[in-house]
Amino acid sequence: MNDTRHKGIAFKVWARHALFTDPLTRVGGEKCSYHVPTYEALKGIAKSIYWKPTFIWVIDEVRIMKRIRTQTKGTKPLVFSGGNDLAIYTFLADVEYQVRAHFEWNEHRPELADDRNPGKHFAVAQRTLERGGRQDIFLGTRDCQGYVEPCEFGSGTGEYDGAGELAYGLMFHGFDYPDEIGDGKLHARFWRPTMKDGVIRFPRPEYCAVRKFVRDMTAKQFVQDKNLQGVEAEVAEMQLEASDGLD
């Protein structure tokens, strides 16, 4: 999909707490956050800023700005069988990240080819980022609400500048969704990240060699002007102009 790569965005995201976990093993009980964000969590933040099924957000890299600290809290998770329960969650505390991402056309959505206008999608993404995103921002779970704003990736001083390399073990990367890979199955991807001077560069999803089948899944269908607002309507509604990067 390299030939479909388009303009990217850079944003700062911060929160009091974050909880980045492997969704395949976090059902109920105690939860302990990874020390660094997952690709899927950052992709979810990008989608909360602006998303259309016309394209796919690809996360390029993340920069860890603050010292990695954890905080343990007792919580009462929802128990479907009724009654009260107590679980210990280990969160990341006082987090801040710089993220660089770009979007690529979803080639498995040929019915949305008429909505592929890179300049206009980029302009809408930039405007919604300036406004703090289109939807609420969460860092791994709804318990951890965060905030976003535009930034220049690499600017400012990070806690791990010049700290060298730090390798992590096998870690959840993200999901392969049916509408993004053209298959009626949901798979989970895994990889082994390395942080260098506070920066983690993510491999493209197709380069993750470790995968686990989760379940069969059907892609949702979208029809422009029925259950999907096209980018032309988005631009008109937001009153964007040529100066906003519509070329």
CA gap 214, 40 in Å, rounded: 15
CA distances from 108 to 177, 187, 188 (A): 11, 17, 19
pLDDT-derived band of residue 2, with 50, 70 and 90 as boundaries? very low
Could you give the percent of the chain with pLDDT greater than 70?
89
Domain boundaries defined on the chain = 2-239
Across-strand partners of 150? 11
Residue type, 98: Q
CA distances, 201 to each of 99, 120, 165, 197 (Å): 10, 27, 12, 11
Chain centroid to Cα 238, Å, comes to 24
More confident residue, 74 or 63: 63
CATH of 2-239, one of 3.10.20.600, 3.20.10.10, 3.40.50.200, 3.30.70.2660: 3.30.70.2660
pLDDT for residue 1: 41
pLDDT digits (tens, 9 = 90+) for 162-217: 999 999 999 999 999 999 999 899 999 999 999 999 999 999 999 999 999 999 99
Three-state SS for 44?
helix
